[in-house]
């Protein structure tokens, strides 16, 4: 919900993962439609992700791929925060859709479905991700991720996140599922299909999701998308006037707002309340 005149609430670090795969129709993206009862973005179509757990900052986690200093540079943050963001990205992907971006230094885990019990314990916060990796002698595969963007929730919101967006290709042999209480439905769609559903009112997209889909629509293959040098600059939408969402301002906000009718404007207000 947008609150006029209220002091901005503190930001919480968060990670979002845009999980992609090649198909005959182009790049497909894994999407979740959040249950309407969720406190934030209820009913919205989103990518997997969530807030950083303080235990994601554990320095004992074994990595294979770009080191924590590289990630800190990419996302313009300190080493401790970079470690937490990358760990949260991998943890949330496993918790929310069963895809595990970890394994040995050269191969991903062959059967994440065999770790269903641990997945549930991670969701319930009975187990830290660092302990989970150590118990199964797994290495976090940072080479399977690529930085994509950085969005900050507007100051007018009652819940605010400092979110880094990651790209990840679905590992061969793994299946992204809908086994999470946070999602009413899950699907694979090309960016074009998802944006068409947005235009038709079948998806409700917050600005960061809408923007990432537009970016992905410009690439033909996952390899091209993952290899691209994406500009990572913090984007913090603002509210230009007291009218709420209709006063939202960010790069290309005019295109975003032009596709919103009154009905969808009301739905977006509800999602942020």
Give the tens place of pLDDT for each residue, 158-201: 889 999 999 999 999 999 998 988 888 999 999 999 999 998 88
- pLDDT tens series, the chain, 273 aa: 444 555 678 999 999 999 999 999 999 999 999 887 655 666 899 999 999 999 999 888 999 999 999 999 999 999 999 999 999 999 999 999 999 999 999 999 999 999 999 999 999 999 999 999 999 999 999 999 999 999 999 888 888 999 999 999 999 999 999 898 888 899 999 999 999 999 888 999 999 999 999 999 999 999 999 999 999 999 999 877 655 666 788 988 888 888 776 556 655 555 555
Asked whether residue 80 is assigned to any structural domain, the reply reads yes
Asked whether residue 3 is assigned to any structural domain, the reply reads no
CATH code for the domain in which residue 153 is found: 3.90.79.10
Asked whether residue 4 is assigned to any structural domain, the reply reads no
Work out how many domains the chain is built from and give that number.
1
Asked whether residue 7 is assigned to any structural domain, the reply reads no
Contact (CB, 8 A) for 203 and 45? yes
Q: What is the pLDDT of residues 95-120, one digit of tens each?
A: 999 999 999 999 999 999 999 999 99
What is the residue range of 77's domain? 12-271
What tokens were used for 216? 């992905």
For 193-218, give the secondary structure using H, E and C.
HHHHHHHCCCCCCCHHHHHHHHHHCC
Q: What is the pLDDT of residue 269?
A: 57
Contact (CB, 8 A) for 56 and 91? yes
Asked whether residue 190 is assigned to any structural domain, the reply reads yes
């Amino acid at each position: 919900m947008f609150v006029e005149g209220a002091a901005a609430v503190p930001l919480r670090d968060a990670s979002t993962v845009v999980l992609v795969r090649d198909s005959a129709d182009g790049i497909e993206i894994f999407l979740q439609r959040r249950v309407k009862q969720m406190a934030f973005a209820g009913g919205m179509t989103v990518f997997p992700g969530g807030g950083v757990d303080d235990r994601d900052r554990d320095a004992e986690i074994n990595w294979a791929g770009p080191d924590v200093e590289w990630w800190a540079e990419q996302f313009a943050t300190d080493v401790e925060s970079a470690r937490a963001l990358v760990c949260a990205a991998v943890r949330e992907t496993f918790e929310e859709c069963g895809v595990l971006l970890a394994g040995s230094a050269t191969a991903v885990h062959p059967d994440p479905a065999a770790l269903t019990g641990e997945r549930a314990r991670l969701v319930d916060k009975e187990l830290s991700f660092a302990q989970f990796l150590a118990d199964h002698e797994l290495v976090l595969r940072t080479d399977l991720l690529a930085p994509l963007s950085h969005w900050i929730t507007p100051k007018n919101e009652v819940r605010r996140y400092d979110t880094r967006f990651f790209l990840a290709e679905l590992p061969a042999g793994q299946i992204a599922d809908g086994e999470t209480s946070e999602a009413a439905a899950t699907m694979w769609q090309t960016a074009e299909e998802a944006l068409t559903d947005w235009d038709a009112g079948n998806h409700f997209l917050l600005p960061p999701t809408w923007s990432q889909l537009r970016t992905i629509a410009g690439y033909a293959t996952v390899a091209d998308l993952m290899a691209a040098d994406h500009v990572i600059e913090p984007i913090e939408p603002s509210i230009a006037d007291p009218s709420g969402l209709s006063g939202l301002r960010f790069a290309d906000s005019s295109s975003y707002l032009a596709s919103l009718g009154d009905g969808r404007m009301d739905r977006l207000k509800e999602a942020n309340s």
